[in-house]
Amino acid sequence: MKRCLISGWRGSTALALACATLLGAAGMADAAALRDKWCSKVHLRFFVGGAEGDAFGTIVYNGARQAAADTGAQVDYVFSGWANEKMTQQLREAVAAHPDGIAMMGHPGEAAILPLAQEAAKQGIRMMYQNVPVPAAVDKVGGGYIGAQQAPQGHALGVEMVRRFGLKSGDLAIVILASNDVIRNAREEGTAKALEEGGVKVVRLSSDPTWAADPNLAIPVVTAALQANPTAKAIVYPGGQQLGNAATYMKAAGKKPGEVINVGFDTSPQIVEAFKNGWVQLTADQQPFQQGYLPILSLCEQIVYGLAPINVDTGAGFVTPENYKAVADLAIEGLR
């Protein structure tokens, strides 16, 4: 609240006019600071990660579109089907197109991204990263990261599994690893290590990036793993696409709801339905809407206002059979 104090009566009229002028000027300054579509002159490229219609990518995309609508930024959206080589080539093309900023998924890994990030920096292109961290690029050329911290989130999920489901020494769990990239794989490896710390025997399986685009491709691997490990108490999936497909895997393996504990990451309409029908028991939420919204907001702030990059851990805790209804409507809308 702004106040202009007048002492005594002499010259009160002049002082009152001066106060009114000052307050008016302050009000005008406040109004001028609030700009509509303040980022409308900025051209960005945003990497969604998945293909159009992808369960996880759709939420990221919706967050990015909301940020573009709120700021007025001109945004070109890039869909990669979670294919790392394709994503790398698209980043190369994005740098060559010379936008003002790029919001990039970190899935291709540091070795692939760092040289292109350095080239972008030489050209004055600002970069942000989402979903998978790229610490070498951030350390060497700048930028921010919006997403869950992979290893801590994965480890916390494993600890919660042991606590919630009473897993004990000698129990067996299957953990499907995400990729061969150490940074991306840190999340699922963190879960596996936490389970092992609790005495649980862990069978690690490799996955294929194409499973994110079409989770049905994992049916033979999941069913074979359950047949080879009939005492498995739980299975951990590396992404929301596969977790949302848990009912399909379990039915193919001849399992009933709850017979095997299905655990993973993210929320989606498919995962909400799986909770409802008893196929999924636990997931770690990483708020992909923020992974779409905040990189665009940060790039706009950097380019228009010269502000520092935003860094946000989007890990938001656990969704369970007890609380999934709280996020169900938003998940169905493609917002959680």
Annotate 40-55 with DSSP letters as a single string.
TT-EEEEE--S-TT-H
The letter for the amino acid at 303 is: I
Does residue 163 surpass a pLDDT of 80? yes
Dihedrals φ, ψ of 68, to 5°? -65, -40
For residue 35, the model assigns a pLDDT of: 83
Q: What is the pLDDT of residue 33?
A: 67
Q: How many CB atoms lie within 10 A of CB 230?
A: 8
46 close to 76: Cβ distance less than 8 angstroms: yes
Q: Are 122 and 158 in contact (CB under 8 A)?
A: no
251 Cβ contact list (under 8 Å, min separation 6): none
Residue 94's pLDDT is 98
Does position 78 have pLDDT exceeding 80, yes or no? Answer: yes
What is the predicted pLDDT for the residue at 9? 39
- 251-308 pLDDT, tens digit per residue, is 999 999 999 999 999 999 999 999 999 999 999 999 999 999 999 999 999 999 999 9
Give the Å distances, CA to CA, from 29 to 18, 208, 241.
17, 55, 49
Candidate from 7-16, 52-61, 218-227, 273-282 with smallest mean pLDDT:
7-16
Strand, helix or coil for residue 76: strand
167, 202 in Cβ contact below 8 A?
Answer: no
Please say if the pLDDT value at position 182 is more than 80.
no
Model confidence at 16, pLDDT cuts 50, 70, 90, reads low
Structural contact between residues 288 and 266, judged by C-beta atoms closer than 8 angstroms: yes
Asked whether the predicted pLDDT for residue 174 surpasses 60, the reply is: yes
Q: What is the pLDDT of residue 291?
A: 98
Flag the least confident range among 31-35, 68-72, 178-182, 193-197. 31-35
pTM equals: 0.86
Hey, which residues does 46 pair with through a beta bridge? 77, 103
